[in-house]
Structure 1
């Protein structure tokens, strides 16, 4: 059995958005008890991550690290058609993940106690993002 839905998010720009509950709700709606959940963001300047869900400092520190290794407006980037955060956002996406695959057990994503699913926006200005969730199994 396969179940697929698309979630849409509007954000305020760079940062993380916890989408765990939305994904868990779709897994529950799917009626699938055992299988896999695939989550995919349809954009080249946003990514997905499984991350610590208890302390927001973890996500802050990840953003600080990313700003250090991929700064906006770096003169080595030629592609800056949409501003100084354009190419850096693309690099950040390539370094992270546009998709996640999570086991489904007992009709829910089988996440660890401290794991959450996050949409990580890499552009500095507001965006609208589409995330496809596909659940397969029985």
Structure 2
């Protein structure tokens, strides 16, 4: 069986937001108990990540690392159509990815004890992000 749906996430601006609850809700709708879950974000300035879920400092450290790697306003970037965070957000998204595949077991994402699924907003201002969930299984 294949089931596909989507949901939106309103972000307050740069940072990461847990989305596994929304994904598991779609899994419950599907009736699939065993299979695979593909999660995809439809944007070029936001990404998805599988990350530690116990200590929020891990995500804060990742954000600080990205600020060093692709800083806002870097003169290297010419694409600044939407501001100094425009191209750095694209770079961050390309480095971190727009899709994740997670196994499904018992009708839930089969994550490790310390794992969570997060939408990572790379723009400094608030956005509404579309996330698709495609489930294959039985």
TM-score with structure 1 length normalisation?
Answer: 0.98
Q: Structure 2: which 5+ runs fail to align?
A: none
C-alpha distance in 2 between matches for 1:11 and 1:84: 19
Runs of 4+ with deviation above 4 angstroms: none
Name 1:74's counterpart in structure 2. Answer: 74
Aligned residues: 138
CA RMSD of the aligned region, Å? 0.6
Deviation per CA, 1:27-70: give whole Å up to 9, x if none: 12211111100000000000000011110000000000000011
Following superposition, the deviation at residue 108 of structure 1 comes to 1.1
TM-score with structure 2 length normalisation?
Answer: 0.98
Q: Structure 1: which 5+ runs fail to align?
A: none
C-alpha distance in 1 between matches for 2:27 and 2:53: 19
Following superposition, the deviation at residue 107 of structure 1 comes to 1.3
Following superposition, the deviation at residue 119 of structure 1 comes to 0.2
Deviation per CA, 1:71-119: give whole Å up to 9, x if none: 0110010100000000000000000010000001111110001110100
